Every structure is written in C-alpha cells, then in structure tokens.
A and B are shown apart, each in its own frame.
Chain A
Amino acid sequence: MAVWTHIDHTSVSLPATTVQFGTHGSAPISQSYDHLYLVMSGRWSNSGSEPHRHDVVYNANTTDADYSNTYLVTTRSGLVQADRNDGRDLAAYLTTSDFEADVFAATSIWIPHYSNTANYKQMFSQSVCPNKSDSNDEWAVRLTATMFHENTDAIDEIRVVAGGGHNFVANSTFDLYGITGA
C-alpha cells in the first residue's frame, strides 16, 4: 500500500464560500489512514489591508471554545508574538483583494492520528500570507498548534470556510492527503 494517498483535490474555478472534505456522520473521510495532511493555496474575495484568517472546521463543529490554539506569529519586522486563544480561525490565512495581484496565501496542516477515538485531536499548521510589502500588518507568518476537544470522535469531516460572507477566489486550491504507517 502506498504511504501517501491523494484523497481529494479542489481547484476553485468560480468563487466559492466553502470547500469540504467528507460529511460528518453520513459520508466520512476514509478512516483507513494514520494521518491527514491538508495543503491550501488561497485568496479571499473581500478587501482588507491585513491578512484574513479563515475558518478550518472539524466534524461540523463551529463552537470556538472547542478549538484551543497556541501560536507563534509575526506581522511586523522586529515583533514576534506568542499567545493562546480559542477559535476555529487561528490556523490559516488568505490574502485579500487589496494584496498584490496574483498572490495567494499558503497553508499546510498536519492532523496526526485523526481516526483514533481515545484522545482529543491535535493539529499543527504552518500558514503564511505573503505580499509585495514589508509594511506592518500587510503580511503574516504563523505557526499554530491546535487541540480540537469537543470529544474524542475521529475526524471525518474538514470544512474550509472563506468567511465573512465572502469567497475563495478562482485558482484557490485545496488538497487532502492520507498517510499510512507501518
């Protein structure tokens, strides 16, 4: 069996508010892997001079209190911040329509042991929001550790939401991989 399996690919051809992998309970993401790896390259349809944080929702749970995040982030030269907060929008960025044209944010999220039912699920994300700018708050670099602790259910749905009633623009791409162990 291959170690890596490409589960699904979505390339947005028209503006879309949501990209979804699996449906909680009824059409779940396959539970036959050891880990999941989500890779995104995205841009937001709305304006804004600052990087836009978008939602990553597991098992259709939109309760921010069930997402605990510890992160290291910078949006300014000379300033690094470390913090801990609840929320489903603290792991991934999108560039906005005010950013340099044709520039997309990039995010990768590891979800180890997503199918076990004994423990809460942890995620590790690397997200960057590049821009042709070195001005304060017009770019971002972020590392986030997330604990999804609604319950110990396996992760069977991942929903990526642009947010604010706006869309992912065309050419935003989303890939979900499954990784097996020995």
Chain B
Amino acid sequence: MAVIEAIQTTYLEADASYIVWTSIPDTYEHLEIRASIQTNTSSTSTGTSILYLNNDATNGNYYTRHQLKAQNTSATANASETHQQTGYLNSKVVQQSYAALHIVLYDYANTNKMTTFTMTQGAPEALTPSLTFTSSIWWRDSGGYTNTDAIDQINIGVPGSQLTRGSSATLYGITG
C-alpha cells in the first residue's frame, strides 16, 4: 500500500454549492486536501470558505478558529470558539484567479479525540489579497458537545455563495 493515495479528485464543470466527498475510508492515519478554488461572488470582497465535516453543513457554528493572517500589508490574528473559516478565496471578478488551499486532518479516524485540522490558504492578487494559517476543531455534532466521531464526509463551500466552474480539489489519504 502506498503511503499517500489519492482518494478522490473533484473538478467542477459548473458552479456548485459544495465540493463533497462521502464514504471516506477510515484506513489512513491522516487526510490531506489540496485545492484550487474560486467563489462566484461578483462583489469586491472575496468569500470565505468553510470546511464542513460529516455533512454538518447546515450550521457552521460548532467549529473553532485560531488564525494567523496576512491581508494586504497587515499581519493580524483572530480567534473564535464558534465559527470556522479556511480563509479568503479569490472571486470571479478576476476570472483567471483562484485561491490555493492546503488542509491536513490529523488522526481523523480516532474516536478518542476530536479531529484537529490545519488550513493554509493563499489568495494572491485577489481583491482582498490574503494568506492565512488556521487551526480548527469540530467540537459538536447533533448528539452532543464532545464530538469524537471519525470523519467520513467532507464538504468545502462558501456560505451564501457558490464555488465557480474550474475549482478543483483532491483528497489524499496518508497511511500510518
């Protein structure tokens, strides 16, 4: 068995609300996502994407966010115990411009711990150019406040907007 296996690649042929992967096997130690994404907002601000786990896509309130951020010429940080974000994305206002996203989900199948994940995002030459490094945990599912479920579904989306045609992402499994 190879140490790194490509589980699935999604290339959007048309605008869509989410990139979705289901039935993710629990046979790996870690998961990685490498993506090139754009949001279809036509406003001058860029969208902020969210990583939803296990189809918990109806409410982004049950994740944490701790983030280092460079935006234009400013460096800052922010935190939330209720809302997650992967970082800003490029918008279709600059049609050829997509954001880069790299996500690692550590020990995602271990049901003795909440899944910790890190997200590195770059949106260069966007209307709001930014670079972020973010950590997050998903701390609640519908059943309670200590969520140690194994991760078997991932949705990537932008609340209130869509991902544009040409956005693509690959899910990798890394063995341990």
Contacts and interface: CB of A to CB of B under 8 A. Distances in A.
Given A104-B106, A105-B116, A126 B137 contact: no
Task: Give the bracket for the number of chain A residues in contact with chain B.
Answer: 35 or more
Nearest to A170: B112
Nearest to B29: A175
A165 interface: no
Main secondary structure of the interface of A (DSSP, over half): strand
Contact of B176 (A3, A6, A76, A132): A6
* Chain B binding surface, main DSSP class: strand
Given A6-B176, A76-B77, A132 B137 contact: yes
Interface in A75-108: 76-80, 100-106, 108
Contact of A173 (B64, B110, B114, B118): B110
Interface in B93-143: 104, 106-107, 110, 112-114, 116-118, 120, 133-137, 139
Nearest to A7: B3
Contacts of A5: 3
A170 B30 CA distance: 18
Nearest to B140: A132
Interface string A123-151: 00010111111100001110100000000
A72 interface: yes
Contacts of A77: 77-79
Contacts of A101: 146
Given A76-B77, A77-B79, A171-B110, 15 more contacts: A4-B4, A39-B29, A41-B113, A74-B67, A80-B76, A100-B139, A102-B113, A102-B146, A103-B114, A104-B106, A104-B107, A130-B116, A130-B136, A131-B81, A139-B64
Interface of B: 2-4, 29-30, 64, 66-68, 75-81, 104, 106-107, 110, 112-114, 116-118, 120, 133-137, 139, 146, 148, 174-176
Interchain residue pairs A-B with the least CB separation, the first 10: A128-B135, A74-B77, A4-B3, A134-B79, A106-B106, A106-B116, A171-B112, A41-B107, A41-B106, A134-B81
Interface of A: 2-6, 9, 39, 41, 43, 72-74, 76-80, 100-106, 108, 126, 128-134, 139-141, 143, 170-171, 173, 175, 177
